[in-house]
Amino acid sequence: MIARMWHGIVPTEKAEAYRNFLNQRAIPDYQSVPGNLAVYILQRPDGDVTHFITLTFCDNLDSIRGFAGSDIEVAKYYDEDKDFLIEFEPNVVHFEVAGRSNDGE
């Protein structure tokens, strides 16, 4: 299993609207990709800005290519992101999932 992690920063006054956008637009998009296993949106306020992490889990790199295209290291952005994000980080990071626990489910 592969984890894909993206980071974005928005002004705190736009954080609630961006959170709603991610939940209504981005999560369904990620979930529509064959091989997507899970999507998590993490949010952390930090004064005047709020950090968002999108963390997706896919069964393999081919599944990630189905979402991101051939260069999986390049961040994918939505047109609406320009209304929220302070900057556009060019890359994402990937991790092989080396262990997990589902005891809490």
Structural domain includes residue 103: no
- Whole-angstrom Cα distance, residue 25 to residue 28? 6
Assign 60 a pLDDT band (cuts: 50, 70, 90): very high
Structural domain includes residue 21: yes
pLDDT tens-digit profile of 17-54? 999 999 999 999 999 999 999 999 999 999 999 999 99
pLDDT tens-digit profile of 75-100? 999 999 999 999 999 999 999 999 98
Structural domain includes residue 34: yes
State the residue range of the domain holding 25: 2-96
Checking if the pLDDT of 56 tops 80, the result is: yes
pLDDT for position 67: 86
pLDDT for position 79: 95
Structural domain includes residue 42: yes
Checking if the pLDDT of 105 tops 70, the result is: no
Structural domain includes residue 102: no
Structural domain includes residue 104: no
Residue type, 40: Y
Checking if the pLDDT of 104 tops 70, the result is: no
Which phi and psi angles does 13 have, rounded to 5°? -70, -15
Token output for 38: 């899970």
Count of the separate structural domains present in the chain: 1
Residue type, 87: E
Structural domain includes residue 105: no
Structural domain includes residue 33: yes
pLDDT for position 101: 80
> Which CATH number belongs to the domain containing residue 52 in this structure?
3.30.70.100
Instruction: Report the chain's mean pLDDT, rounded to a whole number.
Output: 94
